Amino acid sequence: MRSGQLHIISHICTMSKLWQKTTNVNELVENFTVGRDREFDQQMAAFDVLGSLAHTRMLQSIGLMDSADLELVQHELKAIYADIEKGGFTIEDGVEDVHSQVEMLLTQRIGDAGKKIHSGRSRNDQVLVDLKLFFRSELQHIVEETETLFRQLIELSEKHKDVLLPGYTHLQVAMPSSFGLWFGAYAESLADDLELVLAAYRITNKNPLGSAAGYGSSFPLNRTLTTQLLGFDSLNYNVVYAQMGRGKTERIIAQALSSIAATLAKMAMDQALYLSQNFAFVSYPDTLTTGSSIMPHKKNPDVWEIMRGKCNRLQALPTDVAMMTTNLPSGYHRELQLLKELLFPAFADLKHCLQMATFMLQNITVNTDILKDPKYAYLFSVEEVNRMVLNGTPFRDAYKQVGIAIEQGDFNPDKTVNHTHEGSIGNLGNEHITAAFDKLLTNFDFAKVDEAVKGLVE
């Protein structure tokens, strides 16, 4: 081993830690195990304070904190929360995590009362409640951005419901479709995606606080009170399962995010194809596309291509989470903190993709004359077969007669369509899709959560 390495390994780190007693930790070990935790903890700071606001009120209710100390603690926690909201909170160098930073600030400002806030909880359930509150908030943002995109798609579907375009199977011209169907298909896909988001939200919106290190506490904690104060729907009752749920919650969230990402990735692929000269189904202002350094005619769909790449990567998220947590026994394990490195950027990427998809669609122009191109003449072969069947010709005979006409170059179809069944060109069913989406939205009780947070910080 080189002397430089020996010097690094022999250096002792003196960070501020909730668990530290008299022994300091080697700096190399410290840096490896903490990793990017402080970076992600910064995003959880407001939620850490919310957890402590609820926890200390509960401690006072069971006699573990007197009213005077509670008043001091609550006042300073609210001051810290206000600093976080204004962007004035940082985790200082030498402080291990957000929990240590908040407790240190409290102790500096109000003395011994600040040292009492950790009674009846472990850093394990403190991290868990922070994560649950963070995930709950991020899922709300995802729902809101998904709703905005959904409304945009429904609006475009209705606006262009009578504009036909070719439908494809095997990338071969198949049957008539419409822009109403195309836009509406992605709207309904988002409605199904929201079902998974709702499942993830319900799993997330359960209170783990009071599970401590995963085996409960001998203090007479009132877990129902903290559940109500934090706006959770219910508890993770079994304290062992509360800790086991870390990793499981992330996996379910990952499934929900990847489902939305799959919808966006497919739409992005369609957009890239339809913008190309070979299709020319849609167009965008020059300011929303990019050019080539040597080909002056190019209008590249870079936004949709970047979105496709990001969303394809997001579809790997459930597997990434599973590989991090598969075969772990019950109880806490340190690699669980690495899940933040997977989930936190995923939320940011998906929100950005949803916002950009909405923005691009607000500026889309559709080609209203696509089917005038002779290459789409055979698009109406099925329509012609169906017309003959409706007039009494057996289906197999009609199919053969149209096929022969195509082979002999005599096919000259009527290019009108008459689709009336639910979900078809002439009967999109957007009102039913919208009603289903709106019904789903009512299951996210965001108002209850907002009211609970307001009650804690005001």
DSSP summary character for residue 26: E
Task: Work out how many domains the chain is built from and give that number.
Answer: 3
Q: Quick one: CA torsion of 102, 106, 112, 116, rounded to 10 degrees?
A: -40
d(C-alpha 440, C-alpha 192), whole Å: 10
Within this chain, do residues 127 and 103 fall inside the same structural domain, yes or no? no
Within this chain, do residues 129 and 235 fall inside the same structural domain, yes or no? yes
Looking at 135-149, 243-257, 278-292, 301-315, which range is the least confident one? 278-292
DSSP secondary structure, 44-110, as one string = HHHHHHHHHHHHHHHHHHTTSS-HHHHHHHHHHHHHHHHHHHTT-----TTB-SHHHHHHHHHHHHH
The percentage of the chain sitting over the pLDDT mark of 70, rounded to a whole number, equals: 91
Mean pLDDT of 261-265: 98
Within this chain, do residues 151 and 290 fall inside the same structural domain, yes or no? yes
Is residue 401 domain-resident?
yes
159-193 residue pLDDT tens: 999 999 999 999 999 899 999 999 999 999 999 99
Within this chain, do residues 87 and 132 fall inside the same structural domain, yes or no? no
Is residue 40 domain-resident?
yes
Is residue 430 domain-resident?
no
What pLDDT score was predicted for residue 291?
62
Within this chain, do residues 357 and 240 fall inside the same structural domain, yes or no? yes
What pLDDT score was predicted for residue 8?
40
Tell which residue, 429, 453, 450, 446, has the closest CA to residue 154. 429
What pLDDT score was predicted for residue 34?
67
Tell which residue, 33, 37, 98, 39, has the closest CA to residue 334. 33
Within this chain, do residues 312 and 388 fall inside the same structural domain, yes or no? no
CATH code of the domain covering residue 133: 1.20.200.10
CATH code of the domain covering residue 109: 1.10.275.10
Within this chain, do residues 83 and 201 fall inside the same structural domain, yes or no? no
Within this chain, do residues 213 and 347 fall inside the same structural domain, yes or no? yes
State the pairing for strand pair 172-178/164-169: antiparallel
Within this chain, do residues 49 and 111 fall inside the same structural domain, yes or no? yes
Is residue 305 domain-resident?
yes
What pLDDT score was predicted for residue 22?
54
311 SS3 class: helix
d(C-alpha 186, C-alpha 264), whole Å: 8
Within this chain, do residues 79 and 154 fall inside the same structural domain, yes or no? no
Within this chain, do residues 387 and 309 fall inside the same structural domain, yes or no? no
* 94 vs 266, more confident: 266
**Within a 13 Å sphere around the CA of 272, how many CA atoms are in the beta-carbon half?**
16
What pLDDT score was predicted for residue 30?
67
Within this chain, do residues 392 and 286 fall inside the same structural domain, yes or no? no
State the pairing for strand pair 234-235/206-207: parallel
* 23 vs 110, more confident: 110
Is residue 170 domain-resident?
no
Mean pLDDT of 274-281: 93
Looking at 130-139, 143-152, 257-266, 325-334, which range is the least confident one? 325-334
What pLDDT score was predicted for residue 294?
57
367-376 residue pLDDT tens: 999 998 988 9
428 SS3 class: coil
Say yes or no to pLDDT of 424 above 80. yes
Is residue 441 domain-resident?
no
What pLDDT score was predicted for residue 416?
83
Is residue 445 domain-resident?
no
pLDDT band with cut points at 50, 70 and 90 for residue 21: low
Residue 385: give the domain boundaries.
373-407
User: How many C-beta neighbours within 10 Å does residue 292 have?
Assistant: 10
d(C-alpha 176, C-alpha 162), whole Å: 11
Is residue 7 domain-resident?
yes
Q: Which residues make Cβ contacts (< 8 Å) with residue 286, sequence separation at least 6?
A: 299
Is 163 exposed, middle or buried (CB count within 10 Å of its CB: 0-12, 13-18, 19+)?
middle
What pLDDT score was predicted for residue 427?
93
Mean pLDDT of 74-101: 92
Mean pLDDT of 390-410: 92
